[in-house]
């Protein structure tokens, strides 16, 4: 069996992954708060953990992996969005508009992420379906002195949990000194966080021992993860005796780096205290953030866009997936026009090479090994280059499938013969160009620099600008690019 190694944020080291129960590997990933379209940064954790899900299914079997990703459908941002719609004249009560908005946004999310090739998780719970479990968990925390109720609120006593801050590597005092914390009359300590808060008649609310209200954000994930990855499998008798030795603990918890603190820190605190455990999950994984052309994506910079924006602008979903996977998940991902063009060129070549080719029955082991080494998707994409250059086309098709790319026969833009926007002047020559770039790299690898320089000069004389990027040699067309000159270099 393939050995998988994953970087554990909690231990700050790469560890051999040993599931508590190989016949029921359990993973929870924090999903979206459903108040608007998913932006490009929201797609990164989806694709990162989709690749991990595919790897786990490959190693342990599709029927032996449980992947849970939630929807937060009760939140102040959703309330604010619905309120704005009501003030703009939308019909219905505020609560009806909130439910309508959540339903609409969940549909958008699943459609957009599905377009990117992401498999749907085994479980996609909505927070509003687990209010009872949240209330029960809060009651246990109060009974054991880890939480307290005041003025319709329930708060977690951060200083009562000695391990608070371990995941993010910060002390409570440092957090107070370096962060803005809400000071409120119902708090015993500024760092205490909300488990439950009151709702007025217009907002969504549920009856509770502390009055009509709604849950805080952090308790939602703790309750849903415990119910679906512990309580439910126990009820159904789906956990081994070994897994039962660690009650309320599952294998992997993932999400974006922005969730490490406070969300995941708070999840650990309330889960461990409510369930009387030393840990919530064995391994914590966090993907780095996304940038656009080297800058943080923001509306003020004019570089903010959703996945749907890109799709509507004609960027093939396979290209978005390829660019996302070209950078290791623990490094900042920079979306650039150059990377987009490179992805289009490579995918065009791969689809041309594998069209009507029968895929190999097994996935190339080097590709599996690349992903098993802490999801090294960059190395996995490099293996595709090797398979293509060596005309190992059945293996190339199998590898593309494993990484979540569709078969050439099922790609509409490829089957229809339409040219992609960013490389309309290169798509018809991508196979030849990749061969020439590979030859240039081969000269460089063999230190035959005179031959490499000569070929580079010839390529650049066609109107291309050559460089070496993270995925290998790259070519960017200039305004003077002449395809006829490129054909002459065959």
Q: DSSP letter string over 297-325?
A: --GGGT---BHHHHHHTT--HHHHHHHHH
CATH code for the domain in which residue 154 is found: 3.40.50.620
Tokens 């393939």, residue located: 2
Q: Annotation-wise, does 23 bind a ligand?
A: no
- Verify that 399 and 436 share a domain, yes or no: no
Describe the crossing of helices 40-60 and 365-372 by its angle, rounded to 10 degrees: 120
Alpha carbons 441 and 98: distance in angstroms, whole number = 55
Per-residue buried b or exposed e for 298-307, using 16+ beta carbons within 10 Å of the residue's own CB = eeeeebebbb
Alpha carbons 259 and 30: distance in angstroms, whole number = 9
Contact 348, 427 (CB under 8 A): yes
Tokens of 12: 């700050």
| Domain end (from 267, 287, 307) | 287
The pLDDT tens digits along the chain (490 residues) read 899 999 999 999 999 999 999 999 999 999 999 988 999 999 999 999 999 999 999 999 999 999 999 999 988 888 888 888 888 888 888 888 888 888 999 999 999 999 999 999 999 999 999 999 999 999 999 999 999 999 999 999 999 999 999 999 987 777 665 455 567 889 999 899 999 999 988 888 999 999 999 999 999 999 999 999 999 999 999 999 999 999 999 999 999 999 999 999 999 999 999 999 999 999 999 999 999 988 888 777 778 899 999 999 989 999 999 999 999 999 999 999 889 988 988 998 899 899 999 999 999 999 999 999 999 999 999 999 999 989 999 999 999 999 999 999 999 877 654 333 334 445 556 667 777 887 887 888 788 888 888 898 988 898 888 876 545 577 777 777 888 888 888 7
- Verify that 278 and 380 share a domain, yes or no: no
Instruction: Check residue 420 and give its pLDDT.
Output: 38
| Domain end (from 416, 433, 463) | 416
HEC states along 206-267? ECCCCCCEEECHHHHHHHHHHHHHHHHHHHCCCCCHHHHCCCCCEEEEEEEHHHHHHHHHHH
| Domain end (from 287, 309, 336) | 287
Alpha carbons 311 and 320: distance in angstroms, whole number = 9
Instruction: Check residue 14 and give its pLDDT.
Output: 98
User: How crowded is residue 460: how many other Cβ atoms within 10 Å of its Cβ?
Assistant: 13
- Verify that 339 and 477 share a domain, yes or no: no
Alpha carbons 132 and 117: distance in angstroms, whole number = 34
Phi/psi of residue 297, nearest 5 degrees: -70, 125
pLDDT digits (tens, 9 = 90+) for 161-190: 999 999 999 877 776 654 555 678 899 998
Phi/psi of residue 397, nearest 5 degrees: -65, -40
- Verify that 371 and 395 share a domain, yes or no: yes
Q: DSSP letter at 280?
A: S
Alpha carbons 162 and 160: distance in angstroms, whole number = 6
- Verify that 371 and 471 share a domain, yes or no: no
- Domains held by the chain: number: 3
HEC states along 160-183? HCCCCCCCCCCCHHHHHHHCCCCC
Alpha carbons 465 and 313: distance in angstroms, whole number = 25
Q: Annotation-wise, does 221 bind a ligand?
A: yes
Domain containing 154 equals 5-287
- Verify that 206 and 344 share a domain, yes or no: no
Task: Give the C-alpha distances (Å, rounded to integers) separating 9 from 14, 36, 88, 385.
Answer: 9, 29, 44, 31
Task: Give the C-alpha distances (Å, rounded to integers) separating 364 from 60, 369, 445, 468, 472.
Answer: 17, 9, 24, 26, 20
Share of the chain above pLDDT 70, in %: 93
Contact 148, 157 (CB under 8 A): yes
Q: Specify burial of residue 334 (Cβ count, 10 A radius: 0-12, 13-18, 19+).
A: middle
Cis peptide before 333 (omega within 30 of 0): no
| Strand, coil or helix: 134 | helix
Contact 410, 355 (CB under 8 A): no
- Verify that 472 and 335 share a domain, yes or no: no
- Verify that 294 and 201 share a domain, yes or no: no
- Verify that 76 and 221 share a domain, yes or no: yes
Q: Specify burial of residue 108 (Cβ count, 10 A radius: 0-12, 13-18, 19+).
A: middle
Q: Annotation-wise, does 264 bind a ligand?
A: no
Alpha carbons 482 and 463: distance in angstroms, whole number = 6
**pTM for the whole structure:** 0.85
Q: Annotation-wise, does 263 bind a ligand?
A: yes
- Verify that 337 and 386 share a domain, yes or no: yes
- Verify that 393 and 449 share a domain, yes or no: no
472: alpha, beta or left, given left = phi > 0 and alpha = psi -120 to 50?
Answer: left
- Verify that 208 and 252 share a domain, yes or no: yes
Contact 384, 466 (CB under 8 A): no
Alpha carbons 213 and 146: distance in angstroms, whole number = 20
Contact 78, 104 (CB under 8 A): no
- Number of H-type helices and E-type strands within the chain: 19, 15
User: How crowded is residue 133: how many other Cβ atoms within 10 Å of its Cβ?
Assistant: 20
Q: Annotation-wise, does 273 bind a ligand?
A: no
């Amino acid at each position: 069996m393939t050995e998988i190694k994953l970087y554990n944020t909690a231990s700050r080291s790469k560890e051999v992954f040993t599931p508590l129960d190989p016949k029921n590997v359990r993973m929870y990933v924090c999903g979206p708060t459903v108040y608007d379209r998913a932006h490009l940064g929201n797609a990164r954790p989806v694709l990162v953990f989709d690749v991990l899900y595919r790897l786990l299914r490959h190693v342990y079997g599709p029927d032996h992996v449980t992947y849970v990703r939630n929807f937060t459908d009760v939140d102040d941002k959703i309330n604010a969005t619905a309120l704005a719609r009501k003030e703009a004249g939308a019909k219905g009560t505020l609560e009806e508009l909130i439910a309508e908005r959540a339903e609409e946004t969940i549909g958008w999310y699943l459609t957009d992420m599905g377009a990117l090739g992401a498999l749907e998780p085994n479980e996609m719970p909505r927070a509003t379906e687990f209010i009872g479990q949240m209330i029960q968990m809060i009651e246990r925390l109060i009974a054991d002195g880890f939480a307290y109720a005041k003025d319709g609120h329930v708060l977690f006593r951060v200083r009562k949990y000695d391990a608070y801050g371990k995941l993010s590597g910060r002390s409570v005092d440092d957090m107070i000194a370096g962060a803005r914390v809400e000071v409120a009359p119902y708090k015993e300590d500024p760092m205490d966080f909300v488990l439950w808060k009151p709702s007025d008649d217009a907002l969504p609310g549920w009856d509770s021992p502390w009055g009509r209200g709604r849950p805080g954000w952090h308790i939602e994930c703790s309750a849903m993860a415990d119910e679906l990855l512990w309580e439910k499998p126990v009820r159904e008798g789906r956990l081994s005796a070994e897994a039962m030795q660690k009650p309320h603990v599952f294998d992997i918890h993932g999400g974006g780096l922005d969730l490490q603190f406070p969300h995941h820190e708070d999840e650990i605190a309330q889960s461990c205290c409510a369930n009387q455990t030393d840990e919530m999950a064995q391994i914590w994984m966090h993907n780095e953030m996304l940038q656009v052309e080297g800058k943080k994506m923001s509306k003020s910079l004019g570089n903010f866009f959703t996945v749907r924006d890109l799709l509507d602008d004609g960027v093939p979903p396979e290209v978005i997936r390829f660019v996302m996977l070209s950078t290791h998940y623990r490094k900042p991902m920079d979306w650039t026009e150059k990377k987009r063009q490179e992805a289009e060129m490579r995918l065009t070549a791969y689809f041309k090479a594998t069209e009507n080719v029968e895929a190999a029955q097994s996935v190339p082991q080097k590709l599996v090994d690349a992903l098993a080494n802490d999801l090294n998707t960059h190395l996995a994409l490099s293996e595709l280059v090797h398979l293509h250059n060596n005309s190992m086309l059945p293996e190339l098709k199998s590898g593309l499938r494993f990484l979540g790319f569709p078969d050439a026969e099922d790609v509409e833009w490829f089957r229809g013969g339409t040219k992609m926007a960013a490389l309309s002047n290169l798509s018809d020559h991508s196979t030849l160009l990749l061969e020439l770039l590979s030859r240039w790299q081969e000269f460089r690898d063999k230190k035959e620099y005179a031959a490499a320089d000569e070929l580079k000069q010839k390529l650049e004389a066609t109107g291309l600008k050559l460089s070496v990027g993270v995925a290998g040699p790259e070519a960017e067309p200039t305004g003077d690019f002449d395809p006829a000159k490129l054909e002459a270099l065959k």
